[in-house]
Amino acid sequence: MVTVLPSFFVIGPPRTGTTWLHEVLKNRVSLPAIKETRFFDFNFHYGIDWYSAQFHTAFANQPMGEIAPTYFVSPAARDRIAKLAPNAKIVCIFRNPVERLLSLYRLKIAYGMIPWNFDQAIVRDPELIESGRYATNLKAWRRAFREEQVLATLYDDLRDHPQAYLDRLLDFLCIPRFELNASQRGFVNASGHMTYPRNYERTRRANLAADWFKARRLGHLVARLKKSPLCRFVLGGGSPFAELSTETSCQIAEVFRPEVEELEILLDRDLSAWKHYPPRIATAQMPAAEPAA
């Protein structure tokens, strides 16, 4: 049997609207039955047949793709995709790096992936910083593929102009355009409502169990559980997250500044607002409205 691999990968990094994009595309293209297979960076040992089996809903007349935000920082994933699917198109989405890092940290805490406070996590979890090295990783993907195969986009465009963003993406992927419905145009900030878990160990064990089920092609059970009342037993219910101190946010913004400045050159876009967190607002301007939670 000939193995058919995806023709495109949306590689993130995490917390850049990839969940929204998955929901928007899932009925238009063939995506894996589980949202993130982690095949090319974490589950490669299961073999290509395991990966192909994740696309059991694939149809001959639909393009195949994977929305996989963890691949962005993985040299192994980049090399494996370049070898097995050298003609695939690659999509990156970039977001204010401090804002995105904070969102990723909250997600990891909420799902029991890490137990540390913010200062500890910055030191002990390399993904938090590495996934914000946008220019460095973008250049690596451009070297692994032809430059015209790699599309770099901004979360700001996805958030503020979702239809125009989607049109550009569909054109790049050679997929017919379609109109977003009202609910799809309403952007959702998925981390805004997150809290610490009631019980870290219980949440951590539930997350490990979900990975076990996904590895055995039982991801549909995990998806069903997330929509059930039982989900509230393992997710959330704890204290709310504190905001970053001004000192900490400024320090992290300075860490990312060289990457942001180089990305400005690579994309020919003004990213001045990303060089500070919270973004500086002129005195005469009213604060921008927050996305709906």
- Higher-confidence residue of 290 and 152: namely 152
CA atoms of 75 and 14, how far apart (whole Å): 16
Burial 129-148 (b: 16+ CB within 10 A, else e): bebbbbbebbbebbebbeee
Q: How far is CA 200 from CA 221, 223, 236, 243, in A?
A: 22, 21, 10, 20
Predicted pLDDT of residue 46: 93
Q: Using the predicted structure, report yes or no on whether residue 284 has a pLDDT greater than 50.
A: no
Calculate mean pLDDT across residues 66-81.
98
Decide if 73 contacts 40 (C-beta within 8 A): no
Decide if 145 contacts 86 (C-beta within 8 A): yes
Categorize the per-residue pLDDT at 198 as very low, low, confident or very high, splitting at 50, 70 and 90.
confident
Note the pLDDT tens digit of each residue in 235-274.
Answer: 667 788 888 888 999 999 999 999 999 999 999 999 999 9
Among 226, 109, 113, 100, CA closest to 156: 100
What dotted CATH number matches 8-194+241-275?
3.40.50.300
| Percent of the chain at pLDDT exceeding 90 | 64
Enclosing H/E stretch for 247? helix 246-267
Categorize the per-residue pLDDT at 47 as very low, low, confident or very high, splitting at 50, 70 and 90.
very high
Among 250, 277, 268, 10, CA closest to 135: 268
Q: Where are the domains of the chain?
A: 8-194+241-275
For residue 237, list its beta bridge partners.
197
Question: Is residue 120 packed enough to be buried (19+ CB in 10 Å), middle (13-18) or exposed (0-12)?
Answer: exposed
Q: Which stretches of the chain are assigned E, i.e. beta strand? A: 8-10, 65-67, 89-94, 150-154, 195-197, 237-240
Categorize the per-residue pLDDT at 286 as very low, low, confident or very high, splitting at 50, 70 and 90.
very low
